[in-house]
Amino acid sequence: MNIAQSLENLKLEQDAIVLYDALASIEKEPRRAHAFRHIADNERRHAEIWASRLRELGATVPPPSRARLRIRFIIAIARVFGTRAVSDLVKALEGDEEAIYGDQEAHPAIEAIAADEREHAEIWKRLDDEAAPALGRKPVRRTAATDVVSASEHPPVALGEAESPDAITKGEGWHRSGRSGTLRAIIFGVSDGLVSNLALVMGVAGASSNGSLILLTGVAGLLAGAFSMAAGEYISMQSQRELFERQIALEAAELEAMPEEEERELAALYMAKGFSRNEAQTIAARMFEDRETALDTLVREELGLDPDELGSPWGAAGGSFVAFAIGAVIPVVPYLFGGGPAVFAASIVLSLVALFIVGAGVSLLTGRSLLFSGFRQMGIGAAAAAVTYAVGTVIGVSVAG
C-alpha cells in the first residue's frame, strides 16, 4: 500500500466523516441521527487507520480539505428535502467506495473497512425499511420477530415439507413489474429538450438568418416537444398506475378466494428472508388476523409495491413538461434579442454550457468523472446541432437557388 493510495483512501474517509456528521445534524429523528453518528465514528476510525499508515510510510498527514462536490451536493439536497431523500445517493456512494477498496491489493486494514462498509449498507437498509409507510402497521422485520411470534395465538397454516419458498411463489411472477425513477425522467426531459430544440434551431439557422423565423421555430419546437413529453408521460404513468391497481386487485381477489394459500405464500416469503419455518408460519398467521393488514403486507412483500405511492400521472406530466421546457428554452433565449451572427454564436455557446452542466449534474449522481460526463453530453448535443445545421444550410442553398 503506497503513499498515493493511502492519501486517496484518507480523503475518501474524511469526506465520509463530513457527510455523516452533516446527516446526523440534519436528521430530527433520534434513531436515524444515532445511526448516522455511529457510521461517522466508524469513518473516523477508518481515517485514523490511513493516517497511521501514512505516518508509517514517513509521509505527512494532510488536514481535512473541502469535501468533494458530490458530497456537498448530497448534503445540500438533504438540508432541503431531508435525509430520506438522499438515501439512494448515499448508498450509491457507499457502493462506489466499496468498489474502490475492492480494486486495491489485499490488506488487513482494507478487509476491516470493507466489513464496516457492509454494516453501513445494512444500517441504511434497516432505516429504509423502518421508514416504509404501511396501512395499519409496519411490515414485520426480523428484529421484531420474537415479539410477533410470542404474541400470536392464531394457529398457523402448515407449510408442506416438500414446499420450498421458490416453489410456492414462482407462479406469482406473472403479475409483477418494475418501476422507474423520477430522477431519470427529469434528467431525460431536460436533456431531450435542450438537444432537440438546439438541433431544430440550428437547422433553421443554417437555412435562414431571419431571427424572427428562428425564434418562432424555437418557441414552436419548445411547446410541441413539451406537450408531447407531457402527454407521453401521462399515458405511461396512468397505464403503470392502472397496472399496479390491477395487480393489487388480483392479490385482493386471491386473498378472498384462497386465504390459506396466500398465508402459505407469505410464510414462504419470510422463510426466504431468513426466518425459521415456525417463525415464518407464526408471523404470517399474525398478519392474517386482519385482512387489510394481510393485503397490505402481501402487496408490499410479494409484489414489491407501495399502495400509497403508485405515482401521479398529472404530476409526472407536469414535471416532464417543465423539464423539457427548461432545456428547450436555452437555445431560444438569445433570439429574443434579434438575429445575426452574434446572437447565433450566443445561442451555441449558451447551449453548449448548458449541455456540459447537465452532464456534470448526472456525474454527481453516478459517480463518473464530472469532466467526462459533461463533455460527453456536450459532444452529443454539438454533433446533433452540427448535422442539422449542415442539412439546413444545404436546404437553404437549394431553396434560394
Residue 71 is which amino acid?
I
Q: What pLDDT is attached to residue 185?
A: 66
User: Running DSSP on this structure, what letter comes out for residue 57?
Assistant: T
Q: Which residue has the higher pLDDT, 79 or 118?
A: 79
pLDDT value at position 338?
A: 86
Radius of gyration of the chain (CA): 27
Distance CA 216, CA 226 (A): 15
Q: Tell me what pLDDT residue 58 has.
A: 86
C-alpha distances (whole Å) from 14 to each of 7, 23, 364, 387 are 10, 14, 18, 46
Which position has the higher pLDDT, 36 or 143?
Answer: 36
3-state secondary structure of 3: helix
Question: Which of the two residues, 226 and 154, has the higher pLDDT score?
Answer: 226
Q: Residues 6 or more apart from 322 whose CB is under 8 A from it?
A: 189, 226
Q: What interhelical angle do 182-207 and 370-400 show, nearest 10?
A: 30
Domain map of the chain by residue range? 3-131, 179-401
Sign of CA dihedral 297, 303, 304, 307: negative
For residue 243, give the nearest of 310, 169, 314, 313 by alpha carbon: 310
pTM over 0.75: no
Higher pLDDT: 371 or 183? It is 371
Q: How far apart are CA 401 and CA 385, in angstroms?
A: 24
Roughly how many angstroms between the first and final C-alpha of the chain, as a whole number? 70
The phi-psi region of residue 369 (left if phi > 0; otherwise alpha if psi is between -120 and 50; otherwise beta) is: beta
> What pLDDT does residue 131 have?
56
CATH top class, domain 3-131: mainly alpha
Please give the grid coordinates belonging to residue 253. Answer: 381477489
Buried/exposed code over 145-173 (b: 16+ C-beta within 10 A; e: otherwise): beebbeebeeebbebeeeeebeebbeebe
Cα dihedral 29/33/36/41 (nearest 10): -170
Q: Range with the lowest mean pLDDT among 34-38, 104-108, 234-238, 357-361?
A: 104-108
pLDDT-derived band at 189 (thresholds 50, 70, 90) equals confident
Q: What is the predicted pLDDT for the residue at 163?
A: 47
Share of the chain above pLDDT 90, in %: 23
365, pLDDT greater than 80: no
Highest mean pLDDT among 15-19, 125-129, 162-166, 394-398 belongs to: 15-19
84-129 tens-digit pLDDT: 888 878 877 777 777 777 667 666 667 777 667 767 767 777 776 6
- Spatial contact of 325 and 193, defined as CB atoms under 8 Å apart: yes
Q: Can you give the pLDDT at residue 184?
A: 65
Geometric angle at alpha carbon 260, from 257 and 264, rounded to 5°: 125
Distance CA 250, CA 183 (A): 30
| DSSP string over 222-252 | HHHHHHHHHHHHHHHHHHHHHHHHHHHHHHH
SS3 of the chain: helix, strand, coil, percent, to 5: 80, 0, 20
Sign of CA dihedral 128, 134, 138, 140: negative
Q: What number of residues does the chain have? A: 401
The predicted model gives 44-50 an average pLDDT of 88
For residue 153, what is the enclosing H or E element?
A: none
Residue with cell 497511521: 52
**Cβ–Cβ contacts within 10 Å for residue 48, how many?**
13
